[in-house]
Structure 1
Amino acid sequence: MDDRQELTELVGRLGLWLDEKQFDEGRAVFTEDAEVHTPGGVAEGVDALAAQARRHHTVPTQHFITNPLIDVDGDRATIGANLLVVFAHEGGPRLLGERYELEAARTEAGWRISRVQARPIWEVTNA
């Protein structure tokens, strides 16, 4: 598999990690020192970002991460992608449209995300 295919798959694994609440398996997606900047806060280190995700993903979710634009430079990569996430709250869904700016690093175990920057664009509550 070439780098772009592996990185596209990594982006898919990020969404699955969140939706299936696989928070104990963060090292399959992230580097040990990964940092995340999202509307839910800032976290540094894979355990801290897993704890943040666990706090903010208590209801069923579905993450649609599309149109990845990937730039590879040796063992580093940047990925821009669109994100639509649905939080299925009992009182009605919350929909978020965001732009992901991701950084990835090639590790001995393969590509891993080293940084997530989520830029909110729009939100609809109780759609």
Structure 2
Amino acid sequence: MEPTDHAELSVLVTRLGIWLDEKRFDEARTIFTEDAVAVTPGGTVRGIDALAAQARRSHPDDVATQHFITNPRIEVDGDHASVDANLLVVFAAPTGQRILGERYRLETARTPGGWRISRVAASPIWEFSPA
């Protein structure tokens, strides 16, 4: 793995969290491939437009979020790479807070525009909703 690949993939993971937190759903093509797949507690979707729509539904405007994506393990194989990482996400809604601990599994592809996520899978581990 080239050091630049590791750095670019780390930045891509960071950009994913910012994309969700800042609700930049119209910028999905800067993060994902056109045929990207998402497998999350919100369901499974295929295609970048469906993926952005699902993210928009799961992250409504009146709910602030912070995604903490940590400990990425990156494995590059040519123009493809996998990234496993821990995810801690806080949802701060007017009705209360919710904190989720999940595991991310990302598949990525090198494209003419740089690395993009071709598959994202989020596996819930725990949840905390203070009373």
Same fold flag (TM > 0.5): yes
Percentage of identical aligned residues: 67
TM-score using structure 1 length:
0.97
Give 1:86's match in structure 2, choosing from 90, 106, 123.
Answer: 90
Cα deviation code 1:2-61 (max 9, x no counterpart): 100000000000000000000000000000000000111111111000000001101111
Does 1:124 find its partner at 2:118? no
Shift of 1:80: 0.2
Number of residues of Structure 1 aligned to a counterpart in Structure 2: 127
Q: Which amino acid aligns with 1:118?
A: A
Matches within 5 A, 1:19-34: 19-34=21-36
Q: Which amino acid aligns with 1:4?
A: H
Alignment-derived partner of residue 6 in structure 1: 8
Q: Which amino acid aligns with 1:115?
A: R
- In 2, the alpha carbon distance for the partners of 1:126 and 1:114 equals 35
Matches within 5 A, 1:1-127: 2-58=4-60, 59-126=63-130
Question: Mind listing any 5+ residue stretches in structure 2 that lack a counterpart?
Answer: none
Question: Mind listing any 5+ residue stretches in structure 1 that lack a counterpart?
Answer: none
Aligned alpha-carbon RMSD (Å)? 1.0
- In 2, the alpha carbon distance for the partners of 1:87 and 1:44 equals 25
Q: Which amino acid aligns with 2:74?
A: I
- In 2, the alpha carbon distance for the partners of 1:100 and 1:36 equals 11
* Runs of 4+, deviation exceeding 4 Å: none
